[in-house]
Amino acid sequence: MRGPSCRGLLCLVALASFTESLAAGQRCPHKLKESVNPPRGWAKHSIPPAEHNIVLRIALPQPNFGVLEKHLYEVSDPYHPRYGAHLSKEEVDGLVAPHQESIDAVDEWLMSYDIKETDFVRSPAKDWVTLTLPVRLVEEMLNTTYHVWKHEGSGDSIVRTTSYSLPENLHEHIDLVQPTTMFGQFKEMKSTIVWSDDTEAPSQSKNVASIHNPATGVPVDASCNKTITIKCLQQLYNAVGFTPTQLSKNTIGITGYLEEFANLQDLQSFYAEQRPDALNSSFEFISVKGGLNNQTLSEAGAEANLDVQFAFGLSHPIAGTFYSTAGRPPFKPDVGTPTNTNEPYADWLDFVLSHPNTPLTVSTSYGDHEQTVPESYARRTCASFAQLGARGVSLMFSSGDGGVGDNDANPATQTCFTNDGRNATRFIPLFPASCPFVTSVGGTQNVPEIAVSRFFSGGGFSDYFPRPWYQDKVVEKYLKALPKGTYEGLFNPAGRGIPDVAAQGDRFRIWLRGVPRSIGGTSASAPTFAGIVALLNDVRLSHGQPPLGFLNPLLYSKAVSGFNDITIGHNSGCGTTGFNCTEGWDPVTGLGTPNFGKLKKLVL
């Protein structure tokens, strides 16, 4: 076991072992690890109780992640000989495992505070350590001071610090520690629900006028310009009459957070109206970190119901799974031991990465402003999504509903400002949609389709992640066509472009708390696209081929002609009209919306 060295400094006493030095009260000096400016809108409120518990997550380095990334791109590239040769859980764990010396160094550091191995949990690859500690001890370990911070707009409160330090010898063995500097407001990506008293089912029959859809040639019921149903999506995306057959192999999952519960009674009402052949079918419920399954009708969640009803309704009879992940920021200042205030998708990732079998298609309709998530944490979380992609999982994330920022017309409440202390105006992309290892889904409306306009499809360019190779051709074409100087300084033209694709995202008819409601947002677009991906997986599986896995290298190459190009619309935000839709890829609707009839041939 290698004892830690105080890099650049001489320890005062030569010690036989690190453990003995700790017993003697000697520790290497702390050195600043990370420091941030508090995001706009957050202000110090109070001091948390000394015994307030923090669920601390420590990330150890993944020295072979570059090798994993190489595998990921090879098995995801339809023109590579290894296409579809996804890795096993064990193979992925081996590629992200830290060096033993990092494990030893972190263990010894924890032991110096009387924290035993039985007091913490390791991830399967041993690249994360999770433990619960009182804030007074965390402050000592990280040489920092935590405060209760309050958000001026929402009133939310969280326990955070703006900087933390680690013993100098540990900097090479620890990538990050959270929650420390993260001020994100993890939220669902949906626009305001339309609370209509009209409960009459939309009329869709042979007697109703239809609209010619030039993108596919398939007629679409005229009612789809007022209300989106499963039948509308099947018509719009050329999937009418397709029935999945690979039911023992294919799966689709929805992630639920922030105490959003998918109600079974509402699902049956939805099926009775829009998918009668699915009546009396259900989904598998999985609790993550104590996530609840409250089936009281009055507790049904609009987001959870929307995601489940349309993803599972569109992909029926493919087996569905709903994950309920516990943890709901914010912290309540008058409670000593609140629920976990970490970003809950980290807990979901821990869970699914520890299991060998995960749904082949997963949709998530939640996210944060990218700049409120520390870059170190965003990169590590993105790396976890890469692990799932390498294992053959397709991940969809909503691109957001605020256009290029927050779509707030009031300058006093806009969040389109940098967090670097300059408060400079800046477009604000969303994370995890900005991660290059997931598929980001924007929103459309109407027949023929245009970019959604009641809210605005999230899109733009990441400030954290550089443009991935699979986007080079289409994004460069888009940027070259922009008039010189357009939004100069407001976005990063070298960043990963958002979104990748789009789907309908407004006027979705769901059942909520016993009655039909109309709802919109890219939180409708992501599960819709996920439903199409599940059908495409069925096509591949029925031909004896592996599932699609990480989609983007395929979408931007062999499958690019399988999308309906959206050329009308824009995504306002930050006091601007945002970017415009145009021929080919654009940072509003990506490559466009899916044409299942074409894609089912292109994916083989």
298: domain CATH number is 3.40.50.200
Q: Is 50 exceeded by the pLDDT of residue 177?
A: yes
Mean pLDDT of 354-360: 95
Q: Quick one: CA dihedral 579, 582, 585, 590, positive or negative?
A: positive
Domain, as residue range, for 586? 210-602
How far is the C-alpha of 236 from the C-alpha of 507, rounded, in Å? 15
Single out the catalytic residue among 365, 384, 523, 525: 523
Number of domains in the chain: 2
- Does the residue 40 lie in any domain? yes
Q: Is 523 a catalytic residue?
A: yes
In degrees, to the nearest 5, what angle opens at C-alpha 434 toward C-alphas 428 and 440? 115
- Does the residue 488 lie in any domain? yes
- Does the residue 203 lie in any domain? no
Poorest-pLDDT segment among 191-195, 396-400, 430-434, 585-589: 191-195
237 and 174 share one domain: no
341 and 480 share one domain: yes
Q: Is 453 a catalytic residue?
A: no
How far is the C-alpha of 596 from the C-alpha of 234, rounded, in Å? 9
Q: Is 70 exceeded by the pLDDT of residue 426?
A: yes
Provide the pLDDT for residue 342: 61
Note whether 60 and 173 are within 8 A (CB).
Answer: yes
Summarize the annotated binding site for Ca(2+) as residue ranges. Answer: 565-566, 584, 586
| Residues ≥6 apart with Cβ < 8 Å to 135 | 48, 49, 50, 51, 52, 53, 54, 146, 159
345 and 440 share one domain: yes
Q: Quick one: CA dihedral 500, 504, 505, 509, positive or negative?
A: negative
Return the H-helix or E-strand segment holding 102.
helix 100-111
Q: Is 457 a catalytic residue?
A: no
- Does the residue 163 lie in any domain? yes
Summarize the annotated binding site as residue ranges. Answer: 565-566, 584, 586
Cis peptide before 49 (omega within 30 of 0): no
- Does the residue 164 lie in any domain? yes
222 and 148 share one domain: no
Q: Which of 279, 255, 256, 257 is nearest to 268 (CA)?
A: 279
Q: Which two tokens stand for residue 143?
A: 């040489």
Note whether 144 and 164 are within 8 A (CB).
Answer: yes
Q: Is 60 exceeded by the pLDDT of residue 46?
A: yes
How far is the C-alpha of 43 from the C-alpha of 38, rounded, in Å? 8
How far is the C-alpha of 182 from the C-alpha of 202, rounded, in Å? 44
505 and 391 share one domain: yes
Provide the pLDDT for residue 453: 87
How far is the C-alpha of 601 from the C-alpha of 390, rounded, in Å? 23
Burial of 79 (0-12, 13-18, 19+ CB in 10 A): exposed
Provide the pLDDT for residue 341: 58
Single out the catalytic residue among 34, 168, 260, 303: 303
Give residue-wise pLDDT tens across range 521-567. Answer: 999 999 999 999 999 999 999 999 999 999 999 999 999 999 999 99
253 and 299 share one domain: yes
How far is the C-alpha of 50 from the C-alpha of 143, rounded, in Å? 15
138 and 25 share one domain: yes
Q: Is 80 exceeded by the pLDDT of residue 158?
A: yes
Mean pLDDT of 185-200: 57
Confidence of residue 422 (pLDDT cuts 50, 70, 90): confident
Confidence of residue 409 (pLDDT cuts 50, 70, 90): low
Q: Is 60 exceeded by the pLDDT of residue 251?
A: yes
547 and 410 share one domain: yes
Backbone angles phi, psi at 209, to 5 degrees: -60, 150
Cis peptide before 466 (omega within 30 of 0): no
- Does the residue 412 lie in any domain? yes
Q: Is 90 exceeded by the pLDDT of residue 339?
A: no
Mean pLDDT of 53-62: 94
Poorest-pLDDT segment among 136-140, 372-376, 419-423, 524-528: 419-423
547 and 455 share one domain: yes
- Does the residue 11 lie in any domain? no
| Residues ≥6 apart with Cβ < 8 Å to 461 | 427, 429, 467, 491, 492, 493, 494, 495, 496, 497, 498, 587
Mean pLDDT of 416-421: 83
Q: Is 90 exceeded by the pLDDT of residue 190?
A: no
Q: Is 90 exceeded by the pLDDT of residue 207?
A: no
Mean pLDDT of 93-114: 97
513 and 461 share one domain: yes
Give residue-wise pLDDT tens across range 341-355. Answer: 566 778 899 999 999
Return the H-helix or E-strand segment holding 165.
strand 163-167
Provide the pLDDT for residue 155: 79
159 and 232 share one domain: no
More confident residue, 21 or 332: 332
Q: Percent of the chain at pLDDT above 70?
A: 88
Provide the pLDDT for residue 11: 37
- Does the residue 232 lie in any domain? yes
Burial of 392 (0-12, 13-18, 19+ CB in 10 A): buried
How far is the C-alpha of 330 from the C-alpha of 292, rounded, in Å? 18
463 and 405 share one domain: yes
What pTM value is reported for the model?
A: 0.92
- Chain-wide mean pLDDT for the chain? 89
How far is the C-alpha of 451 from the C-alpha of 578, rounded, in Å? 12
Mean pLDDT of 233-240: 98
Note whether 388 and 358 are within 8 A (CB).
Answer: yes
Single out the catalytic residue among 188, 260, 266, 307: 307
Give residue-wise pLDDT tens across range 433-471. Answer: 999 999 999 999 999 999 998 889 999 999 999 999 999
